[in-house]
Structures are given as structure tokens and as C-alpha cells.
Amino acid sequence: MVQTAVHTALKQRLAERFREVNGDHPMTDADDTYVTAQFVSLEELCAVHGRDSDAVRRLMLRRQLPLPGYLRSDGAEMVPADLFALADAAGGVDRLEAWFTAHWADRVAGKAEWNAYLTGQYVCLRSVTPASIQRKDHLTTAITTAVNEPDAGSAQWAERLHVLIDELDALEPAFTSYDRLRFGGPTSRDTCIAAMRTRFPRP
């Protein structure tokens, strides 16, 4: 009975923290379907890896692991299948922050990315690693500033642009309507992939 009460309290605290970060937005049936296809529940992932789900919730609340990417309508905390991969690569959860931030030469930038990682909002990447975060940042910047290049509009320019767009397309999942609510507008897929392909068709 005590264990059940502790489990319920941890789930509630984690849900409250999630809503503090993301806002309180409804999940539609389509959102639930998307999330179920792209992510795995925390309980299922912990069962596969032989981990205690409540211990993982405590790590999330202590800002040692990222929050869930989504809360499904049934309350399931949905996380990426590789949630534990970075901690394993770092040599353990206690070493994860130092390992993660060391990938940025600028310590302030590294800390900022660590804080962003902990929100669980890197649902914009199929696999969340320091390398993929940095590559996404490079690609979105290159795509959005491409219109200012001297040869903008030429066939060669368009070919370069679509190479960048295609690479970003491979890094990013489809997103769902819930994401546009919590992020307060279009996603990077909307602005840097779909809109740019429409505005500048492939030659």
C-alpha cells in the first residue's frame, strides 16, 4: 500500500512538472496515436532495461534525466526508446551532465543545451545526442539564412538548399498538433522543411 501511494505521488509530481514546462494542452486521439507510434511508455522501457520506473522518475525530478517527451491522454509518460543511451555512454547518470556539456566549446552554450535537454522537448529529433542537436542547429540556421546568399534563386543554390532540407528531414520526426500548441506556433519542420520546399521547389 505504501509503495502504491509513493508510485502515485511520483507520477503526479512528474505530471505537474511536465505541465509546468509544456503548459496544459489537450492531447487528441491523433496526438495519442502519433506518440504511441514514435515513443514508448516509461513503464515499458524500464521493464525492458530492468530498471525501477519510480527511481527513474526521481532522476527526472532531480534534473538528472530529461522529462518525458509527452504525457499521453491515459497518463502514460512517453519517452524515447533510447532514453538511457546517453547516460550509458557517459558512464552513468552522475556523469551525464559533464559528459553532455563537454560537447560544446562554449560552456554557457553547453549549459543552456543541457537545460533544454532536461525539458524533454527535444522531440524534434529522432535521436537526441549532442551531435544531432548541433547538426540540427546548423541546418536550421543554414536553411533560414540561405535566402540571403548572393546566388539565391539560381539552380545551383536550389540544389544546395534541398540537400540541407533533405538532411534536416532525415533528422526530424513528423511532429504532431500538440507540439504546435506547447511550442506556441509552427515547428522547425513546418518552417524549414515544408514551407521552404513549397517556396523553393526542387529544380
Per-residue pLDDT of the chain in tens (203 residues, 90 and over written 9): 446 888 999 999 999 999 999 999 999 999 999 999 999 999 999 999 999 999 999 999 999 999 999 999 999 999 999 999 999 999 999 999 999 999 999 999 999 999 999 999 999 999 999 999 999 999 999 999 999 999 999 999 999 999 999 999 999 999 999 999 999 999 999 999 999 999 999 88
Q: Which three cell numbers stand for residue 132?
A: 544531432
**pLDDT for the residue numbered 1:** 43
Give CB contacts under 8 A, 24+ apart, made by 143-152. 143/168, 143/192, 143/196, 144/191, 144/192
The pTM assigned to this predicted structure is 0.92
φ/ψ (deg, to 5) at 94: -65, -20
**pLDDT for the residue numbered 6:** 86
Q: From its phi and psi, is residue 50 left (phi > 0), alpha (psi between -120 and 50) or beta?
A: left
φ/ψ (deg, to 5) at 71: -110, 115
